[in-house]
Structure 1
């Protein structure tokens, strides 16, 4: 609280805090800041407390701080950086303080056909950014030897999918990546000024911002949509991205590589992702249900390959 207070305006103080649910890597709190004249505003405090992420927090928070600094000069709607303590020099845990954006993630099936083109256009806009200083290269997040095959899945199909990512990564033209662009990190304006869920009010969680192929960001969002709403929505997002002007890998095999790589990476965190989605209100998404959708999605990708 003392660290946050250093960056408040004169006469302001913290008058409340609310935990924001749905995150996996960090604890998120919305702080209510009161002023002498009785007005209030909100800030968001991001804190890494899990030992696994605390070890990686310095890199992640430096990345996020750099990304938010870059985004402040663009049209991409993102929080504004206020302060960062990546090494926990002042706080109990590594932390980052930023402005609060209105809106909320929408994970429901209703209205999805309207949101998917908005998500695609937003991602195209992110990939169009050309930072003066290129961020570090993307991390692959999985290997052929760490994939977790769901119980009851077709072993032959999954073995073929794993073989796809044993090959070297295809050549690509680098783009600025969010690296965790998916419905849980996109806020929609739910106010009365626009029809519900028809305007994106912000994109959050830039801790993994990096440089790499646009296909990887597209694949990640496609996987999340497939697990949240059914396998067909993964393909529809890829199509929506291209329709919005996004450029993907030149060949079908190159595109498949990135789609399969991200889908297989999700196999290692099905339980934690499913829990986060249930915490956010999707109580139907049990670990088994998400595993079944993942299996169906991987099967669809491999079937399309022929």
Structure 2
């Protein structure tokens, strides 16, 4: 599989696709961006340009972007194809069949799917061994995490090539060893959201205070080490063994008390109104502040050896 990537085709010019495009351009690639759904070219180009500014990319990077209306045309001649289209299985099957026909057999075909495993669409291809999922965390030009998931027909060489390319782009790829709905990270998020929605729905806490609690408490530690390493450090000299011995039984009681809320219209309205009140400054303003903080946090983690490569884990 190709790892010397010079030309990247990105199919889908939504938020994920444009973010991927900006990342690849910033790392010296030529990018062929296609959007079968017909997103206006000017809008896509402006979005990619904004991402390049986020990354402090050289001015000439934007000149390596070409825009296409046909996915197969964009994929022809590419060394890597990243699909970032709608989460519709029938659409992905048709698209990957077309991408498979348009590219050389040693070109990786990577889907950004947030929930589908590659086995559900790679059998539409003549060369399914080079099809995998490379699920980024939004926005992928800033957040390093990428979940790499192989399917029933994905070759070990394809997995290794994807990991190599992503490392070269400064990403933090993790190998997910099972095909699960939502992969791993979205399942972790869904577990937290389930309890958060229930706590809001039962009146235990407001939307704004719940977000404050996570962002100013566990979220700060999770951003540095993750939940299990953080739990280990909280155990003092005894580490994880001490935590599980003394806090494990109460934690099981908390698990047993968790409920399964229904996403009723009433709860939906409560969540929507709550977050609108919380973000009264406006989504664009908050998003810009968040992205600036992300850049500074990533730089700090790198300086302290707690970066996307895994920190102090020799």
TM (norm. structure 1) is 0.23
In terms of Rg, which structure is larger? 2
Instruction: Say which structure, 1 or 2, has more relative contact order (CA 8 Å, 6+ apart).
Output: 1
TM (norm. structure 2) is 0.23
Higher helix share: 2
